[in-house]
Amino acid sequence: MLLYFDDQEAAATRLAHAAGLPASRIERHRFPDGELKLRLPAALPPHTVLYRSLDQPNEKLVELLLAARTARTLGATHLTLVAPYLPYMRQDIAFSPGEAVSQRIVGPFLASLVDAVITVDPHLHRVATLEEVIPGADTVVLTGAEVLSDLIVQRRAKPVLIGPDAESAQWIARAAARHGLDHAVCTKVRSGDRDVAVALPEVAVAGRAVVILDDMASTGHTVAAAARLLREAGAASIDAAVTHALFTPQAVELMHGSGIGDIWSTDCVTHDSNVVPMAGLLADALRRLQQAHATPG
């Protein structure tokens, strides 16, 4: 069975359909003081899947704690968390004394709740694998780069893929390799959350369709800075594609104002820009986990 919350019903039911699983919504009630009461199905199968993408994570992590611990009392002996977006992955070291290293806290917290985690493009820097972050749990990492690449070549003829910073290089390389596309990566100097300087790479963009591709975008400042430079360099069109649309309310307006035409994203994070469903890839990952769990050794 796949359990989900009402605010992510569309993506969760797409996954349930693709995986051939019955789906059941977790009921929520909010008390006047802000506390939550959840109600799950009265009986759960031994293998239960919990779908919860963890953007805007603070309250969702509490929901996950309540749901996972309750599921254990209702018959679930093996819990798989499908979290297309994982939060608190970016801070993996303390940059100044006394800082909480959120990755080292949230990862073990998830491991204490579930047996397996499936996610998409986790934003890891100095840590090589998700297994190091979520110790003891089976982990499956998928990417949105290739399915976004499939969409891009349908929408634009022979586009150039541009990564807005060095961290995007891995996603750019995978997306470009799928269809043999030209690609390059900008360099970025960030002075604050909204103070970003970008330098274009040495790649010919004049007269060509360009798509800025990254794993996530929130304020849109880095993408917008790259777009302005691409427009000055003579790009025929500029679009943006991201796995995780973590956009603030002003981000889309900012990006369009910088010269970006279309904005495309996967449904890992619910947003009006969602055009690429991840259900097929997530369902395949669930089947692989089930097969591995069923195979002795």
In order, the DSSP letters of 142-201 are E-SHHHHHHHHHHHSSSPEEEESSGGGHHHHHHHHHHHT-EEEE-EEEEEETTEEEEE--
Of the candidates 182, 152, 186, which has an alpha carbon nearest to the alpha carbon of residue 169? 186
> How remote is the C-alpha of 52 from its chain's centroid?
11
Q: State yes or no: pLDDT of 170 exceeds 90.
A: no
Residue 74, number of CB atoms within 10 A of its CB: 13
CA 30 to chain centre: 27
> Does residue 35 sit in the same domain as residue 127?
yes
Are residues 178 and 262 both part of a single domain? yes
- 257 and 112 housed in the same domain: no
Question: How many domains are there within the chain?
Answer: 2
DSSP 8-class letter at 43: S
Asked whether residue 138 falls in the same domain as residue 13, the answer is: yes
- Give the model's pLDDT for residue 124: 87
Structural Rg of the chain based on CA atoms: 20
Q: Which residues pair with 23 in a beta bridge?
A: 2
| One domain, residues 9 and 53 | yes
- The CA distance from 22 to 38, in Å, is 19
Helix (H, G, I), strand (E, B) or coil at 2: strand
Residue pair 281/142 in contact by the 8 Å Cβ criterion:
yes
CB contact at 8 A, 26 and 68: no
**65 and 171 assigned to the same domain:** no
**55: which DSSP letter?**
S
Query: Which residues make Cβ contacts (< 8 Å) with residue 296, sequence separation at least 6?
Result: none
What residue has token string 């109600």? 39
Residues 6 or more apart in contact with residue 182 via CB below 8 angstroms: 158, 160, 161, 176, 203
Alpha carbons 275 and 39: distance in angstroms, whole number: 32
188 is an active site residue: yes
What is the per-residue pLDDT for 295?
A: 59
Q: What is the pLDDT of residue 262?
A: 98
Strand order across the 138-142 sheet: 23-25, 2-4, 47-51, 78-82, 116-120, 138-142
Least reliable range by pLDDT among 166-170, 208-212, 224-228: 166-170
Return the structure tokens found at 168. 């995007």
| 262-291 average pLDDT score | 96
Q: Residue 220: pLDDT band by 50, 70, 90 thresholds?
A: very high
Residues 186 and 80 in one domain: no
CATH number at residue 136: 3.40.50.2020
The pLDDT assigned to 59 comes to: 95
Residues 206 and 269 reside in one and the same domain:
yes
Residue 258 scores a pLDDT above 60:
yes
Query: Does 127 lie in the same domain as 251?
Result: no
- The answer to whether residues 179 and 241 belong to one domain is yes
Q: Are residues 56 and 118 in the same domain?
A: yes
Query: Does 116 lie in the same domain as 26?
Result: yes
231 lies in which domain range? 145-275
Q: 213 pairs with which residues across the strands?
A: 241
CB neighbours of 7 closer than 8 A, spacing ≥ 6? 270
Mean pLDDT of 195-201: 77
What is the model's pLDDT at position 12? 98
